[in-house]
Amino acid sequence: MKIIVNPAYEHLRKFVESIPDIFESEGRVIYSGRNLIKVMTVDDGLEINIKRYGVPALVNRIAYSFFRAPKGRRAFSYPNILLQRGFETPVPIAYIEECKWGLIKYSYFISLQSSYRRNFYEFGNADVNDCRDVVIAFARYTARLHESDIMHRDYSPGNILFDKIDGEYHFMLVDINRMSFGKISIDMGCANFARLWGQKAFFELLAREYARARNTDEQYCVDKVLAHRKKFWIYFAKKHQVKYKLEL
């Protein structure tokens, strides 16, 4: 078993080492699917988020064991890049990797639990006039993110947490094992919004504010955002149920 602990949380090493043994029986489940996420509280009252990644398919077990970093390892490494560039994401505590016959089995990413309780699922059927301020703030935030050479490759509603603090919206990215670092073109940036939920007017406002923040043509961004969104959701709807009123 491989364990990496953030030096700032070395005092939690014993707890971290116990996680594979206690994970099934302890903690509060906040997500259950192929991966399982639980929240646990350590002795000093600190809330810890623990994500256990499901056992990969054999070909990926081989790839993650010998050729590329597993998802949990990337989730542990990437936060420092975001935090150093001034963007919020849960502070990483540790990474655990279990192996069997030399191949990765379960892996765990442990971080501080976010205090932000809102996410972008709430905008699926929202009237844009009821969320105008947060859309504008989010567009500017995303422009700043992209101009800092950061792109979340799974920019979906549940991976963007936010809250309003002292009159200002603050955003936090989670599930960041899929990231790109490097120059983000306007077209790449517009495509990044495709997975979000929302009505057409939501995306038109989002695109215009994003364009303004990046000093580029507004109508070009509106056209690109809507085109990328349409392409994604037409494909998605063929295989999955769309859980909001999809307006293309």
State mean pLDDT over 215-242.
97
Boundaries of CATH 1.10.510 in the chain?
118-239
Give the DSSP letter string of 98-147: EEETTEEEEEEEEEEPP---EEGGGGTT--GGGSHHHHHHHHHHHHHHHH
Model confidence at 57, in pLDDT bands (50, 70, 90)?
confident
Fold (topology level) of 2-112? Phosphorylase Kinase; domain 1 (3.30.200)
Q: Structure pTM? A: 0.92
Give span(s): CATH 3.30.200, the chain: 2-112
State the Cα–Cα distance between residues 156 and 152, nearest whole angstrom.
9
pLDDT of 102 > 90? The answer is no
- Give the residue, 49 or 61, on which the prediction is more confident: 49
Instruction: Domain 118-239: give its CATH architecture.
Output: Orthogonal Bundle (1.10)
d(CA 161, CA 176): 12
Mean pLDDT of 137-164: 98
pLDDT attached to residue 70: 86
